[in-house]
């Protein structure tokens, strides 16, 4: 446990951190990749270019400094990051590297403020936080290893099927090369891939949503092609049926766990429907008795993935209702047959049918979309404990 003096010193650096903002973490990543280029095989460099990763790290460092007297308030963030880290096979030694570059960054950007006392306080604070992550991640590694069909580290899977789901989304059915069972997961979680190929400048780790309920034998993931996405374009263009992929166990802190009597509303925008697809599959598989609402918004019919699957499930299950929004329907898109409303999603259209006191809401999609959904539901008086959402990539707060 950190002593009061150490906590006091760390808190005193909050104004310095705030004034530096993301320049701190941008400098940190630049020096770390310069001195430890092997870590380019761990981090998603696309998120470096976009600025999302430096921003996410800065917010995490700042939050830790502000809440160092009560780190329990950061429990959900710690769990989310630990889950992500297990998908990168992070090791304790890598925490030492990160800690070194963080302290050196403070020295280089704020030489006047970086007294030996300040550096020592931050070294102790970082060590405590790293220990927390290392301990939790080891628990997660062991849990995955001990489950039926579970494993630790990399396991080879064969692509058994590759299915084009829309103009931008393709799904991949993966089966273990060793012929063994695979561990169950909670619907909403993702699968971790380690992509290694001479066609890639660096090895790439990626997390892709599992879009089918667990069956103990295979996993199905869905991948959206991003315009400049190194990994997503590789998956779409270079990975074919019969190829082998290195897979790490499923993980993620966004998942659905509800009793059969709980009404569920699944709300998605674009590729955000992929974790919802596994949730819906699980609800149907377990013969959920309460109402299920599937609400989805996308550009048009060409980008509407899983359309026929959802229509078939709706026809076969009387407790499932659907509502689809196309922002700009194409000439081939037929109202009532392919979609219900034109334009952006408007939940107020359905307020009376999707609000009951015990309904739980799960939503995923672009950040502005999710902010709209959350603002609408909170405005209706829905409590936070019934709101569940996922941000793809580095976590950001709605």
What is the per-residue pLDDT for 60?
87
Residue 263 marked ligand-binding: no
Residue 397 is predicted with a pLDDT of 57
Q: How far apart are CA 240 and CA 225, in angstroms?
A: 15
Question: If you search the block for the tokens 């689809």, which residue do you land on?
Answer: 324
Residue 154 a catalytic site member: no
pLDDT at 393: 54
208 is an annotated ligand-binding site residue = yes
The pLDDT, as a whole number, for residue 149 is 98
Is 29 among the annotated ligand-binding positions? no
Half-sphere exposure of 238 (CA within 13 A, CB side): 14
Identify the active-site residue in 64, 95, 126, 361. Answer: 95
- DSSP strand pairing (264-269 vs 169-176): unpaired
pLDDT at 74: 85
Among residues 210, 158, 176, the alpha carbon closest in space to that of 390 is found at 210
Q: Is 209 annotated as a binding residue?
A: yes
Domains of the chain in sequence order: 4-146 (1.10.490.10), 155-251 (2.40.30.10), 264-390 (3.40.50.80)
Let me know: does 216 contact 184? Beta carbons within 8 Å. Answer: yes
d(CA 288, CA 84): 30
Q: Is the dihedral of CA 310, 220, 389, 53 positive or negative?
A: negative
Residue 365 counted as an annotated binding residue: no
Give the residues across from 294 on adjacent strands. Answer: 266, 322
Annotated catalytic residue 261: no
Q: Which two tokens stand for residue 118?
A: 């300040």
**Residues ≥6 apart with Cβ < 8 Å to 299:** 270, 326, 327, 328
Strands 204-209 and 190-195: antiparallel
Distances (CA, A) of 174 to 10, 70, 156, 167, 245: 47, 43, 10, 21, 9
Burial class (CB in 10 A: 0-12, 13-18, 19+), 358: exposed
Q: What is the pLDDT of residue 76?
A: 86
Q: What is the pTM of this model?
A: 0.91
Classify 372 as helix, strand or coil: helix
Closest among 191, 227, 230 to 212, alpha carbons compared? 191
Contacts of 27 (CB under 8 A, 6+ apart): 105, 108, 109
Averaged pLDDT in 10-residue chunks for the chain of 398 residues? 92 93 92 94 77 83 91 86 92 95 94 93 95 95 97 97 97 98 97 95 94 97 94 97 98 94 97 96 97 98 96 96 97 95 97 94 94 96 94 60
Among the listed residues 29, 64, 126, 137, the single catalytic one is 137
Is 271 annotated in some ligand binding site? yes
**Phi and psi at residue 369, to the nearest 5°:** -60, -50
CA-CA-CA-CA dihedral for 292, 295, 301, 307, to nearest 10 = -20
Question: Residue 99 in contact with residue 150, Cβ under 8 Å?
Answer: no
């Amino acid at each position: 446990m950190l002593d009061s003096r150490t906590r006091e010193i760390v808190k005193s650096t909050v104004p310095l951190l705030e004034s530096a903002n993301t320049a701190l973490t941008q400098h940190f990543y630049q020096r770390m990749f310069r001195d430890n280029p092997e870590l380019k095989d761990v981090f998603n460099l696309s998120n470096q270019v976009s600025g999302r990763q430096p921003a996410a790290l800065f917010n995490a460092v700042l939050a830790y400094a502000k809440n160092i007297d009560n780190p329990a308030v950061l429990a959900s963030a710690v769990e989310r990051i630990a889950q992500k880290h297990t998908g990168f096979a992070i090791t304790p030694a890598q925490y030492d590297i990160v800690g070194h570059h963080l302290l050196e960054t403070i020295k280089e950007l704020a030489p006047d403020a970086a007294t030996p006392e300040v550096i020592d306080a931050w070294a102790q604070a970082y060590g405590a936080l790293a220990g927390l992550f290392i301990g939790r991640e080891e628990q997660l590694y062991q849990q995955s290893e001990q489950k039926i069909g579970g494993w630790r580290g990399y396991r080879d899977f064969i692509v058994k099927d590759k299915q084009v789901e829309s103009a931008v989304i393709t799904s991949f059915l993966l089966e273990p090369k060793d012929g063994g069972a695979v561990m169950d997961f909670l619907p909403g979680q993702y699968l971790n891939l380690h992509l290694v190929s001479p066609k890639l400048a660096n090895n790439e780790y990626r997390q892709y949503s599992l879009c089918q309920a667990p069956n103990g034998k295979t996993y199905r993931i869905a991948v959206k092609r991003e315009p400049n996405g190194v990994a997503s374009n590789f998956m779409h263009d270079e990975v074919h049926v019969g190829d082998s992929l290195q897979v790490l166990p499923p993980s993620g802190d966004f998942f659905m766990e509800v009793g059969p009597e709980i009404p569920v509303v699944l709300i998605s925008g674009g590729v955000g429907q992929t974790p919802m697809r596994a949730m819906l599959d699980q609800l149907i598989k377990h013969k959920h008795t309460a109402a299920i609402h599937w609400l989805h918004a996308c550009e048009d019919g060409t980008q509407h993935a899983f359309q026929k699957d959802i229509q078939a499930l709706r026809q076969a299950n009387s407790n499932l209702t659907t509502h689809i929004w196309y922002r700009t329907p194409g000439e081939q898109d037929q109202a009532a047959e392919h979609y219900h409303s034109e334009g952006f999603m408007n939940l107020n259209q359905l307020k009376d049918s999707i609000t009951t006191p015990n309904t739980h809401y799960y939503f995923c999609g672009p950040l502005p979309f999710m902010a709209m959904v959350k603002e609408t539901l909170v405005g209706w008086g829905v409590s936070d404990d019934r709101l569940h959402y996922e941000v793809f990539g580095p976590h950001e707060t709605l």
